[in-house]
Amino acid sequence: MATTNHNYDKLGAGYLFPEIARRAKAYAEKHPGIVLHRLGIGDTTQPLAPSVVKALQDAAARLGKTETYTGYGDYEGELFLREAIRDLYRERNVELGLDEIFASDGAKSDSGNIHAIFDADNVIAVQDPAYPVYVDTNVMAGRTESYNTVTGQYVGIVYMPCNEYNGFFPELPTEKVDLIYLCSPNNPTGVVATHEQLKRFVEYACRHKAVIIYDAAYSAFINNPSLPRSIYEVPNAKECAIEINSFSKSAGFTGVRLGWSVVPKSLVAVDAPAGKLNALWYRRQSTCFNGASNVVQYAGAAALSPVGRRECQITIDYYMQNARIIREGLKSLGIVCHGGDNAPYIWAKTPNGLRSWEFFDQLLEQANVVTTPGSGFGPSGEGYIRLSAFGHRDATQQAIAGIKSNLKFG
């Protein structure tokens, strides 16, 4: 007699993006002929870099010939890709062993699966607001009680508020926590942690033998050289942090799928000497995952080649110009904006104390612009909306022009 995982019953309202899609669809059906401008979901829109396309084509062609066909690869990824990733870290003076790098099919899988190598009793702490995967996967794993509809929080999770009073980076937890999820640049706020801010968390984690799970999926958008792109730029971080990254946003691989995690050999937990967590992640991946697509790994290496980097940077710059258009446009209306300078997201404060969904509806109905309500990322996101810079330039310009000419305040 099969029974279900009742932890799934605890999950709060459905995933945020289906609800946004539902409202946008309902509005479009009620108003045939209108054009919706989508500044909501963080999906990429610009084509792959030419060198990446060539690598995909060449790799596919090799699979079409007996002499060059290959099947399963190493669970942790092809050596050439891990070398390219290692070299990327070297640019930031971070030295990694090749056996500390694990290629995957994306940062969502890794950020959703990494908890599996930690005991069910671990208390998790999350930035609030945060990418919903960190919370939801721990709910599914049974690390929480039920969802409290009044607080918008799961009992059992430590929420670390990120708000205008702390510059959208959390204070250190005051209670015992074991796993700390940090994301920088943060989705949704677009705010980047400084060296000093990360140092405080690294010192805390080392002191308490906690582990930081650091999601750097947007690190390629950091253009201020004084800001860290990797947590390993902070001394001792290899003893307390796992880092996750992705080709999705830096190289447009949202559909292609490729990411990686770094689990350093020197990482420790209370009951895990150096090397054990690295071995556990290898064990987990080799049991549940058969490696990233070989074709795609060639494409990833091409994206990290000097030519690929230059080509991908053009697309990153394009998105960052969109971010400027959004930020400057909203600011000209007196809307307070954060992020958008080293990240492809703009975190806009709702005017007149509107709730997130109220402002979402206003933008949809008055300007036909689809955004993402901040409250969907955690209770501290209430009173904000997230705008994404990943759209086409003309759609972004039209969306902002529409907001400027149609939005009625007061």
Nearest distance from residue 301's CB to ligand PLP, in Å? 16
Nearest distance from residue 254's CB to ligand PLP, in Å? 5
Among the listed residues 153, 219, 246, 396, the single contact to ligand PLP using CB under 6 A: 246
Q: Are 259 and 297 in contact (CB under 8 A)?
A: no
Task: Tally the C-alpha atoms within 13 A of residue 39's C-alpha that lie toward its C-beta.
Answer: 37
Longest dimension (CA), the chain: 70
Residues paired with residue 272 on neighbouring β-strands, in sequence order? 269
Which residues 6+ apart lie within 8 Å of 174 measured at CB? none
Q: Is 183 in the site for ligand PLP (CB under 6 A)?
A: yes
What backbone torsions phi and psi does residue 182 show, to the nearest 5 degrees? -125, 145
Amino acid at 166: N
Among the listed residues 215, 243, 311, 341, the single contact to ligand PLP using CB under 6 A: 215
Amino acid at 40: G
Helices (H), 47-92: 50-63, 79-90
CA distance 34 to 28: 7
Q: Is 254 in the site for ligand PLP (CB under 6 A)?
A: yes
CA distance 94 to 214: 15
Q: State which residue, 16 or 28, has the beta carbon closest to ligand PLP.
A: 16
Q: Is 248 in the site for ligand PLP (CB under 6 A)?
A: yes
Q: Is 108 in the site for ligand PLP (CB under 6 A)?
A: yes
Nearest distance from residue 153's CB to ligand PLP, in Å? 20
Question: Of 125, 129, 254, nearest to 191 (Cα)?
Answer: 129
Nearest distance from residue 111's CB to ligand PLP, in Å? 6
> In the bound complex, which residue of the shown chain has the CB atom lying closest to ligand PLP?
106
Task: Tally the C-alpha atoms within 13 A of residue 292's C-alpha that lie toward its C-beta.
Answer: 31
Nearest distance from residue 132's CB to ligand PLP, in Å? 9
Nearest distance from residue 135's CB to ligand PLP, in Å? 12
What is the DSSP pairing of strand 384-388 with strand 37-38? unpaired
Q: Which two tokens stand for residue 96?
A: 């990694």
Q: What are the angstrom distances between the C-alpha of 301 and each of 173, 247, 259, 294? A: 38, 10, 11, 11
Nearest distance from residue 251's CB to ligand PLP, in Å? 10
Q: Is 42 in the site for ligand PLP (CB under 6 A)?
A: yes
Q: Which two tokens stand for residue 44?
A: 């990429």
Among the listed residues 89, 131, 201, 377, the single contact to ligand PLP using CB under 6 A: 131
Among the listed residues 77, 106, 291, 391, the single contact to ligand PLP using CB under 6 A: 106
Stretch that binds ligand PLP, among 150-158, 246-254, 263-271, 300-308 (CB under 6 A): 246-254
CA distance 263 to 274: 11
CB atoms within 10 A of CB 309: 19
Nearest distance from residue 258's CB to ligand PLP, in Å? 7
Q: State which residue, 143 or 257, has the beta carbon closest to ligand PLP.
A: 257
Among the listed residues 111, 137, 184, 293, the single contact to ligand PLP using CB under 6 A: 111
What backbone torsions phi and psi does residue 318 show, to the nearest 5 degrees? -60, -50
Among the listed residues 107, 369, 370, 387, the single contact to ligand PLP using CB under 6 A: 107
Q: State which residue, 89 or 131, has the beta carbon closest to ligand PLP.
A: 131
The residue count for binding ligand PLP (CB under 6 A) is 14
Q: State which residue, 107 or 302, has the beta carbon closest to ligand PLP.
A: 107
Q: State which residue, 113 or 368, has the beta carbon closest to ligand PLP.
A: 113
ω before 225 within 30° of 0 (cis)? no
CA distance 124 to 110: 16
Q: State which residue, 129 or 152, has the beta carbon closest to ligand PLP.
A: 129
Q: Is 184 in the site for ligand PLP (CB under 6 A)?
A: no
Sign of CA dihedral 199, 200, 206, 211: negative
Among the listed residues 40, 228, 259, 391, the single contact to ligand PLP using CB under 6 A: 259
Amino acid at 302: A
Nearest distance from residue 151's CB to ligand PLP, in Å? 23
Q: State which residue, 245 or 396, has the beta carbon closest to ligand PLP.
A: 245
Nearest distance from residue 152's CB to ligand PLP, in Å? 19
Task: Tally the C-alpha atoms within 13 A of residue 156's C-alpha that lie toward its C-beta.
Answer: 19
Give residues in contact with ligand PLP (CB under 6 A).
42, 106-108, 111, 131, 183, 187, 215, 217, 246, 248, 254, 259
